[in-house]
Amino acid sequence: MTSDFSALTPLLAPRSVAVIGASSDPTRIGGRPIAYMIERGFTGPILPVNPNRDSIQGLAAYPDIASLPEVPDVALVAVAAENAVAAVAQLAEAGTKAAIVLTAGFAEVGEAGAVLQARMVEAARSGGMRLLGPNCLGLFNARIGFFPIFSASVEGGWPLPGRIAIASQSGAYGTHLFAIARNRRMGTPLCVTTGNEADVTLAEIIGWMAEDPDTDVIAAYSEGIRDGERFMAALEVARAARKPVVMMKVGRSALGQAAARSHTASIAGDDAVTDAVLQEFGVVRARNTEELLDIAYAATRRVYPARNTLGVITISGGAGVLISDVAETLGFAMPPMPADAQANLRALVPFSAPANPVDCTAQAFNDISVVGRFTESMVADGGYTSVLAFFTQVGGALSIAPRLREQLNAVKALHPDRLYALSVIASPEMVIQYEADGYLVFEDPTRATVALHAMGRFGAAFARLAEPSPDAVAAFSLPATTPSEADAKVLLGRAGILSAPERACATADEAVVAAGAFGFPVVMKVLSPDIPHKSEIGGVLLNVTSEAAVRAGFAILLDRAHVAAPKAQIEGVLVARQLRGGVECIMGIVRDPVFGPMAMFGLGGIFVEILKDVVFRRCPFGVDEAARMIHSIKAAPLLTGARGRAPADVPALAAMLSRLSVFAYQAGPALAAIDLNPVLAMPKGQGAFAVDAVMEIGEAR
């Protein structure tokens, strides 16, 4: 994956800018950027192009691109669509490195616009020029006074200094994020909107921000990922640089009907796949704007505990319960204080509740030093990496806050490597003082809990070592068309993916011989590449216990198949040893159009599509990652020995899942989907076996 995004520097941090379609009116699309850059002191030349003006807003204007006194690093294009295409072609021929096309009327309006957009991209690429947009709101880089943007959002206030960058596919929502952040006193000096993404994508913008030495935190808004490889490369650059990416990803559509035959595809949907990729690269997905900005705000402290634990000090038992509920939902560990530390705190305040949350009660504010001693014990004895203090209005009271700050600051000075958040109601001036001391300040303690938890997710991602490449499976070639269950199992068996002993039988006599060889009871299934989900037509018989039952079952299965699918190709009946004592699981592969083959794991059986307690991971991956996937589902205790059950052979299950992921990766785009449902995880040491297998071959070969 390519990971150098420096080619976008002329676009995002240029030395000179031309404005094609420049206007003397500072409220028009072609005028606002010029007015903004003049006011904010862009240091390079600003070159307006307008054939009807000698000067624009006090700057010398030029009649056309050919008349410009120098080749600008970047050009802002704000003319009608047909003229925009011609302007881009002239700029590219002149050697301009980048263009920002504000003009609408391209792919977003239909086929004719898409053709026009393709012409423009071709013109840009012919000259090696990068193109942002079209149909974009623009961007700003306030550090250099660069404002090629026509948004009125800056009329409410200019971007504040800081180290948060915003990347957004939506122009209006990107500037919406900026405006809310500014109103919260958060510094977002860099904001880029990508519009139609005819050339430059959100992925590349994130990548450039990840390489930017002046950016620490990336807040992103996405409607859809276009270039999976580039997107993952950008996220990996950010992860390697320890730069958090917090993202709002909207749109939760399902995969197309072409994949409807696959259980895995019907469970996946685009959103589940995107979720898995974001988690893989350590991106925290925000549920809403407030959460996105809360997490970005917390990340500016640059403390990312790899093993995050939460210690809570409170003057309200109710608030402590509320925080604990949220932490449990998130999986945010809140271990209790050590017993001796609890005893010491109880001796200090007999009616306190010093477990965790540590409730020092409001009485502690009669002697403010008690708050300091409780907090010091929490940090030093409890060892929590994140500390949340709920002090409500007391923390904002003018009669208390200065002394409270003194106590808290003494603790913080001794333990500067922790995250500290306060839930207080205070004046803006007092909040600024607390923030200057290094505290995150929230009125709502649940929002604080969510933000602190996200810092641990970042830390775990940053600390994660690259996994060794998984072992390849044996060489194989896919069939030209979708295989039967028996043929699919033979192919998977070469990759080390085992199934129960079985035999394809064309006649009832062959079925009787196979059953005798395996020993009763056996399972019988109709064998047809055209009937992938046999149980839905009654095409599976369990507990077949005699030769007579085998003969009767053979006839029943063929009859049911002919009735349910009269045009299906019937190859016979599959007879298999009936395994007992295992836990039913499901494994599958679905090919995502953006991210390629994705593996799925969960508990199997007929309820998997209803419960959807499954996990996804991009292929390929090794046994250790497969084991993490298995242990991450909610029902994992059923595999590890819950309530006295015998533990299942999880190592064998993990080995199978890893081999399946490698098989899917090596198969390439011709493989559309695989379903192994159920896979029986036998008791520990007895292996794992695919009982049913469906393999779909796609059109790409």
pLDDT at 266: 43
Question: Contact, 226 vs 197, CB < 8 A?
Answer: yes
pLDDT at residue 409 greater than cutoff 60:
yes
Tokens 């309200």 sit on residue: 316
All CATH 3.30.1490.20 domain ranges of the chain, comma separated, are: 502-577
All CATH 3.40.50.261 domain ranges of the chain, comma separated, are: 302-463
Q: What percent of the chain has pLDDT over 70?
A: 96
Distance CA 431, CA 73 (A): 42
pLDDT at 404: 95
pLDDT at residue 642 greater than cutoff 60:
yes
pLDDT at 366: 83
Distance CA 142, CA 151 (A): 14
The partner residues of 191 in beta bridges, in order of sequence, read 140, 166
pLDDT at 605: 67
Distance CA 185, CA 183 (A): 5
pLDDT at 699: 75
- Other CB atoms within 10 Å distance of the CB of residue 469: 10
pLDDT at residue 415 greater than cutoff 50:
yes
Distance CA 295, CA 546 (A): 64
Q: At what angle do helices 339-348 and 368-380 cross, to 10 degrees?
A: 180
Query: 584-621 pLDDT, tens per residue?
Result: 999 999 999 889 999 999 998 666 777 778 999 999 99
Distance CA 167, CA 171 (A): 9
The partner residues of 17 in beta bridges, in order of sequence, read 46, 74
pLDDT at 252: 62
One DSSP character per residue, 194-258 reads -TT-SSS-HHHHHHHHHH-TT--EEEEEES--S-HHHHHHHHHHHHHTT--EEEEE---PPPPGG
Residue 357 pLDDT grade (very low, low, confident, very high; cuts 50, 70, 90): very high
All CATH 3.40.50.720 domain ranges of the chain, comma separated, are: 6-297
- Of 629, 650, 632, the closest CA to residue 641 belongs to 650
**How many residues in the chain?**
701
Three-class SS of 424-450: ECCCHHHHHHHHHHCCEEECCHHHHHH
Query: 494-542 pLDDT, tens per residue?
Result: 999 999 899 999 999 999 999 999 999 999 999 999 998 888 899 999 9
3-state class of 579 per DSSP?
coil
pLDDT at residue 257 greater than cutoff 90:
no
Residue 4 pLDDT grade (very low, low, confident, very high; cuts 50, 70, 90): confident
pLDDT at residue 261 greater than cutoff 70:
no
Query: 113-161 pLDDT, tens per residue?
Result: 999 999 999 999 999 999 999 999 999 999 999 999 999 999 999 999 9
pLDDT at residue 367 greater than cutoff 70:
yes
Enter the tokens of residue 535.
Answer: 């149980």
How confident is the model over 197-224, as a mean pLDDT? 96
Residue 639 pLDDT grade (very low, low, confident, very high; cuts 50, 70, 90): very high
**Residue 487, C-beta contacts closer than 8 angstroms, at least 6 positions apart:** 479, 529
pLDDT at residue 183 greater than cutoff 80:
yes
pLDDT at 53: 94
Task: Tell whether the torsion through CA atoms of 516, 500, 585 and 693 is positive or negative.
Answer: negative
Query: 36-46 pLDDT, tens per residue?
Result: 999 999 999 99
pLDDT at residue 563 greater than cutoff 50:
yes
pLDDT at residue 271 greater than cutoff 80:
yes
Residue 189 pLDDT grade (very low, low, confident, very high; cuts 50, 70, 90): very high
**Residue 626, C-beta contacts closer than 8 angstroms, at least 6 positions apart:** 601, 653, 654, 655, 657, 658, 661
CATH architecture, domain defined by 302-463? 3-Layer(aba) Sandwich (3.40)
Residue type, 626: A
**Residue 113, C-beta contacts closer than 8 angstroms, at least 6 positions apart:** 81, 105, 106, 107
pLDDT at 700: 63
3-state class of 66 per DSSP?
helix
Residue type, 325: D
CATH superfamily of 6-297: NAD(P)-binding Rossmann-like Domain (3.40.50.720)
Please give the model's pTM, rounded to 2 decimal places: 0.91
- Of 689, 666, 685, the closest CA to residue 676 belongs to 689
pLDDT at 256: 37
All CATH 3.30.470.20 domain ranges of the chain, comma separated, are: 583-697
How confident is the model over 177-193, as a mean pLDDT? 98
Residue 364 pLDDT grade (very low, low, confident, very high; cuts 50, 70, 90): confident
pLDDT at 264: 41
The overall average pLDDT reported for the chain is 93
- Of 323, 342, 332, the closest CA to residue 385 belongs to 332
Burial of 176 (C-beta count, 10 Å sphere; 0-12/13-18/19+): middle
3-state class of 22 per DSSP?
coil
Residue 349 vs residues 362, 394, 551: alpha-carbon distances, Å: 11, 19, 81
The DSSP letter of residue 155 is G
CATH superfamily of 502-577: ATP-grasp fold, A domain (3.30.1490.20)
Enter the tokens of residue 575.
Answer: 């007879």
Query: What fold, for 583-697?
Result: D-amino Acid Aminotransferase; Chain A, domain 1 (3.30.470)
Burial of 241 (C-beta count, 10 Å sphere; 0-12/13-18/19+): middle
Three-class SS of 482-501: CCCHHHHHHHHHHCCCCECC
How confident is the model over 237-241, as a mean pLDDT? 96
Position with higher pLDDT, 54 vs 363: 54
pLDDT at residue 54 greater than cutoff 50:
yes
Distance CA 15, CA 9 (A): 10
Residue 443 vs residues 296, 375, 431, 614: alpha-carbon distances, Å: 17, 19, 10, 36
Residue type, 387: V
